[in-house]
Structures are given as structure tokens and as C-alpha cells.
């Protein structure tokens, strides 16, 4: 059920239920962080392995001390610069944070979403929310309420409708090892923006066995339709010319496409923010076209383009 009823959302969450939850990045599958029943249901509904930790969503920066036992000065600088917004901080956890949420690790991932409905909901609750993306494990992340409803239907009691997610990709996850700043997941805050605050960062965003943070698995964000991610898009068009195929492009193209091909241009003006906003929605659309294959070209490997390339490399991983 899709609804804008905040009162109902509060009641479900207070009763240990799980809801679809809008943020500026993607929709989440949300539950009370202190409810073992709710958190287990999140993992079960998503079919998400228990070794993959969840993100805790807070209503204010003042709450950070309730969940984190240590907060480095550089973490506070990043929080001040980017919260509310698509930045997640990986910090040593307090004992009150259940190991189920952190996959038994000593750190907890936390952020404040930049979405008016999400913040209104969090302010009415006496507990933070755990909310991984509201998609089955490894599938395309949802950027509108209907995506969540299509995935889960009656498996969850409601999807709180907050419109289309304005950022369109997951949050950037940043952790700390003494003085070293580590990016564990590329997301809505670019590496270049992080570097304006920290000067130097290390990117460590792949761990298929025991990920420190969400989004590090090699296969992720994938449509049901096989996806080819290639620099030589003309060659792949030729190889697949007899198939019903979709082409995901960035900017105008002179490519001659067979009649059995579908094309989506993410940004005719080659604007990376626009392309990021439309990225998952376009993959959802192509996944509904009964295509045999989706072919995508790389984006400029800078800023949000690097983020989209990372998503596509995981979506196409075999």
C-alpha cells in the first residue's frame, strides 16, 4: 500500500513493523533499530545476507553521540558540511547498537537524510531507523514509491510516498582509520567534494566476503535483464543487432540503432546531476521492456560520473 499517512507510518514502526521510507538518495526499507523483530524482517524481506550491515538514519547531528562511541574531528567537519544529505559516516558504535545492524562489526554506519518527509517521520519517533535500500538483494535500487510496491507488495505494510528521490543514487560512505579517511562506497557526494574537506582520501570499496559497509559487494544494483557495460558501444550494438536490446546513453549520439533497439539518453546536455537523478529510474524502465540485453556506455570518470561507472560495473558483474 502506497500512502502519505505519517500517523500510520509512526504506528507501524512503533509496533515493530517495516515500511518503505523515502530519502533524497533512494527509498529505504525502514525499521526501529532497537527492534530485533523489525531488523530481522528487513533482512528476510530483502533476502539480504546477515554479513551485510545496515545504515542507521538519525533526525539530527545531536543524536550522533547516542549511537557512536567516538567521533573524530574530521567526521564532525564532514557531517557539518554535508548533513542532512547523501553522506554516511562509519564510526565506532556504542554498545546499545545491536550487532545485527552492524553485522557483528564494531562500527555503525549513520546519516541524516535530506528529505522533508523522512525528517518529519524521524522527529516523531523516539528511536532512529535502520534503512537499507528497499529492493531485493542485488537488484536495482528504488527511486519512487511504486518501485518499492512493485518489489514487495503485501510483504510490507506500507510505502510512505515522498515522491521521486532527488539525488537518485545511494549515499557516499566514509570511514576513518586513525588519520586516514576511507571511502567505502561511492555515492551522492563525489570524491572531489569529500577532498575539499579532507584533502586526502583512500578508496576501498570492494569486499565480497565481509564488507565493512553496504554497497561493497562485486554484484549489486543489477536489473533482471543482462547488462553489458562497455567502452565500445558500437561493437556491442553490432554483436547484439538481432536481439531486442536497450541502450543507455549520456548525451547525444550519432549511433545508428536497429529498429528492435530502445534508447534512453540520461542527459542530452551531458549534465551528470541530471543523469544521476534519472539513472535508476531508467534501468527500471528498461527492465520492464522485456529486453534481452541492456548496453551502457561509460560516463566521464569524474565526479558523479565515477559513481555511475561504479554502479554499472557492479550491475554488469558476472
Residue ranges of the binding site? 25, 48, 52, 57, 107, 111, 131, 133, 141, 171, 185, 221
Phi, psi for 182 (deg, rounded to 5):
-120, 130
- The secondary element (H helix, E strand) that includes residue 90 is strand 87-92
Place of cell 523515502: 22
| Binding-site residues for ATP | 48, 52, 107, 133, 141, 185, 221
Spatial distance between the Cα atoms of 151 and 155, rounded to a whole number of angstroms: 9
| Binding-site residues for L-threonine | 25, 57, 111, 131, 171
Query: Residue 103 half-sphere exposure, CB side, CA atoms within 13 Å?
Result: 16
Phi, psi for 139 (deg, rounded to 5):
-90, 175
Distances (CA, A) of 174 to 45, 147, 190, 277, 288: 27, 28, 11, 22, 34
Let me know: does 212 contact 184? Beta carbons within 8 Å. Answer: yes
Copy the grid coordinates of residue 45: 524481506
Amino acid at each position: 500500500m502506497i500512502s502519505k499517512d505519517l500517523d500510520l507510518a509512526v504506528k507501524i514502526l512503533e509496533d515493530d513493523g517495516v515500511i518503505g521510507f523515502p530519502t533524497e538518495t533512494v527509498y529505504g526499507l525502514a525499521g526501529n533499530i532497537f527492534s530485533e523483530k523489525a531488523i530481522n524482517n528487513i533482512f528476510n524481506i530483502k533476502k539480504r545476507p546477515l554479513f551485510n550491515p545496515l545504515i542507521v538514519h538519525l533526525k539530527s547531528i545531536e543524536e550522533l553521540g547516542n549511537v557512536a562511541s567516538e567521533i573524530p574531528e574530521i567526521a564532525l567537519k564532514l557531517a557539518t558540511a554535508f548533513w542532512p544529505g547523501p553522506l554516511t559516516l562509519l564510526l565506532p558504535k556504542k554498545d546499545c547498537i545491536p550487532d545485527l545492524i552492524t553485522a557483528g562489526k564494531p562500527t555503525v554506519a549513520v546519516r541524516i537524510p535530506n528529505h522533508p518527509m523522512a525528517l518529519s517521520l524521524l522527529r516523531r519517533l523516539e528511536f532512529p531507523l535502520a534503512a537499507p535500500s528497499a529492493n531485493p538483494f542485488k537488484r536495482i535500487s528504488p527511486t519512487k514509491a511504486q518501485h518499492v510496491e512493485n518489489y514487495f507488495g503485501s510483504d510490507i505494510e506500507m510505502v510512505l510516498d515522498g515522491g521521486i528521490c532527488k539525488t537518485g543514487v545511494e549515499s557516499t560512505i566514509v570511514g576513518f582509520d586513525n588519520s586516514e579517511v576511507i571511502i567505502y562506497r561511492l555515492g551522492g557526494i563525489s570524491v572531489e567534494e569529500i577532498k575539499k574537506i579532507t584533502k586526502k582520501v583512500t578508496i576501498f570499496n570492494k569486499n565480497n566476503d565481509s564488507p565493512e559497509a553496504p554497497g561493497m559487494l562485486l554484484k549489486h544494483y543489477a536489473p533482471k535483464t543482462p547488462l553489458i557495460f562497455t567502452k565500445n558501444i558500437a561493437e556491442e550494438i553490432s554483436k547484439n543487432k538481432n536481439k531486442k536490446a536497450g541502450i543507455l546513453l549520456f548525451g547525444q549520439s550519432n549511433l545508428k540503432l536497429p529498429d528492435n533497439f530502445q534508447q534512453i539518453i540520461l542527459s542530452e546536455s551531458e549534465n551528470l546531476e541530471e543523469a544521476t537523478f534519472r539513472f535508476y529510474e531508467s534501468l527500471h524502465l528498461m527492465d520492464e521492456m522485456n529486453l534481452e540485453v541492456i548496453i551502457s556506455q561509460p560516463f566521464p570518470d569524474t565526479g558523479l560520473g565515477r559513481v555511475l561507472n561504479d554502479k554499472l560495473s557492479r550491475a554488469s558483474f558476472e
